[in-house]
Amino acid sequence: MGDVITLNYTVKPDDFTRAGEASSNVKNTLKQLGIPPAAIRKVSIALYEGEINMVIHARGGEITVEVSPEEIRMVLADVGPGIPDIELAMKEGYSTAPEEIRSLGFGAGMGLSNMKKYSDSMDIQTELGVGTTISMVVRVM
Amino acid sequence: MTVEDARRVLGARVLIGEEYLDQEVGTACGSDMMSDVLAFSKDHSILLTGLCNPQVIRTAEMLDIVCIIFVRGKKPDEKTLELARKTGLVIMETGHRMFSACGMLYEAGLRGGAI
């Protein structure tokens, strides 16, 4: 196992116009580190979906990304309302996003399923009223 | 075709990225829902949309899209354009509606890409 580079970000709540800054920064950093484009694409989409979710549903949160030559590990932790039914939330098309968010182009109910699709493994820890922590790993081929 | 070819087909106006018009583009997608663009896009090089906010730029950035065409004469605000400048995207606007704009580009040889 080679060196691990850790990146930390705070996602601000209710600032929809700035959502995606962390994902953009991670993407550029991975490019500079010479990570293969296929892995960068997976990380970018999965992380961006997660970041948007944090802004929409969870009053922001903390993102930690660990980059090693073998894998990219992402942890998104928030102190939001928690997810009452993970299975339902994972269903494509199911969304609890308000109408206002839909008018901004999000809330189609694809976020969580997309995060699972673009990561090689995903784990969700959630507790109602306490928060949600989502861990995703993308392997570097 | 190139981004410039697409521009000519639509008679679109370039707002940002005049210097990147010679890039090759093979496929495009059209949607106002960024969630769906993220879920269904596969190596598309052009995004046609009527949605105007900074997340359109972010979505394009994450997917390595090279050109955004705003349809129905929609004009992105300065915040959105500023973000686009930083990411090196080509931004255009056309008065054509979504259906027409997609049809014109399809007729000119642009495709939707793999399902």
B113 within some domain: no
B63 part of contact set with chain A, CB < 8 Å: yes
B58, B32 contact by CB (below 8 A): no
Nearest to B62 among A27, A92, A102 (CB): A27
Give the number of C-alpha atoms closer than 13 A to the C-alpha of residue B36, restricted to the C-beta side: 15
User: How far is A59 from chain B, CA to nearest CA, in Å?
Assistant: 18
Kindly provide the residue ranges of all beta strands, DSSP E only, lying in B17-112, ordered along the sequence: 28-30, 46-49, 67-70, 90-93
Q: Which of B62, B63, B83, B89 to mutate to test the interface with A (most CBs of A within 10 A)?
A: B62
Residue A11: band (very low, low, confident or very high) from pLDDT cuts 50, 70, 90: very high
Say how many domains are in chain B: 1
Interface ipTM: 0.89
Domains and CATH numbers, chain A: 5-139 (3.30.565.10)
B22 within some domain: yes
| CA distance readout (Å), A93 to A106, A131, B39 | 11, 23, 11
CATH code, domain with B88: 3.40.1390.20
Nearest to A24 among B34, B39, B61 (CB): B61
Residue A2 pLDDT greater than 80, yes or no: no
B74 part of contact set with chain A, CB < 8 Å: no
User: Is A105's CB within 8 Å of B63's CB?
Assistant: no
B61 within some domain: yes
B15 within some domain: yes
Structural domain boundaries enclosing B29: 3-107
Residue A1: band (very low, low, confident or very high) from pLDDT cuts 50, 70, 90: low
Identify the closest residue of chain A to B56 by CA–CA distance.
A105
What pLDDT does residue B40 have? 83
Nearest to A44 among B53, B56, B62 (CB): B62
B115 within some domain: no
Residue B67: band (very low, low, confident or very high) from pLDDT cuts 50, 70, 90: very high
What pLDDT does residue B44 have? 78
B8 part of contact set with chain A, CB < 8 Å: no
B112 within some domain: no
Residue B115: band (very low, low, confident or very high) from pLDDT cuts 50, 70, 90: low
d(CA A116, CA A123): 9
Nearest to A48 among B53, B62, B87 (CB): B62
Residue B78 pLDDT greater than 80, yes or no: yes
Identify the closest residue of chain A to B52 by CA–CA distance.
A104
Residue A48: band (very low, low, confident or very high) from pLDDT cuts 50, 70, 90: very high
By DSSP bridging, strand A131-139 and strand A71-78 are antiparallel
